[in-house]
């Protein structure tokens, strides 16, 4: 599954135990009348996927839905759902793309005027 939205929050990586780390980030989905605030989890080696993004970036998040059952110490059964992101793409405007380090190439006619030909 995938969804597009704007990054609202990026949390720091959290070490759950020696073998498991997770990181949460939140996007705002404005595709309907009522904006949806959606938290995603990155786990283990995927935690660094969000590093190249910042709050305000428009992204496309590819994710899987995970559900689980847990019985608490009182014997009550609880159910949890999480959205595990596995790929994040920048879909923002060209303004979000870093500028090239090379200057633009200008072409001029033999009279020194700028050439507006498409080739």
Distance (Å, rounded) from C-alpha 79 to C-alpha 68? 6
Q: What is the pLDDT of residue 1?
A: 96
Q: Is the pTM of this model over 0.85?
A: no
Q: Which domains does the chain have, with CATH numbers?
A: 2-92 (2.40.50.140)
pLDDT in tens, 56-98: 999 999 999 999 999 999 999 999 999 999 999 999 754 444 4
For 102-105, which contacts have Cβ atoms below 8 Å and span 24 or more sequence positions?
A: none
Higher-confidence position of 1 and 114: 1
Copy the structure tokens of residue 41: 């989890």
How much is the mean pLDDT over the chain?
85
The dihedral built from the CA positions of residue 46, 61, 56 and 16, taken in this order, carries a sign that is negative
Distance (Å, rounded) from C-alpha 61 to C-alpha 90? 9
């Amino acid at each position: 599954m995938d969804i597009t939205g704007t990054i609202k929050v990026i949390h720091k990586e959290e070490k759950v135990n020696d073998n498991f780390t997770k990181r949460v980030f939140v996007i705002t989905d404005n595709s309907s009348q009522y904006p949806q605030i959606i938290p995603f989890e990155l786990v283990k080696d995927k935690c660094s996927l969000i590093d190249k993004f910042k709050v305000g970036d428009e992204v496309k998040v590819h994710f899987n839905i995970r559900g689980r059952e847990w019985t608490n110490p009182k014997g009550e059964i609880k159910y949890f759902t999480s959205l595990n992101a596995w790929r994040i793409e920048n879909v923002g405007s060209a303004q979000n793309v870093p500028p090239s380090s090379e200057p633009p190439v200008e072409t001029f006619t033999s009279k020194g005027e700028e050439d507006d030909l498409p080739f």
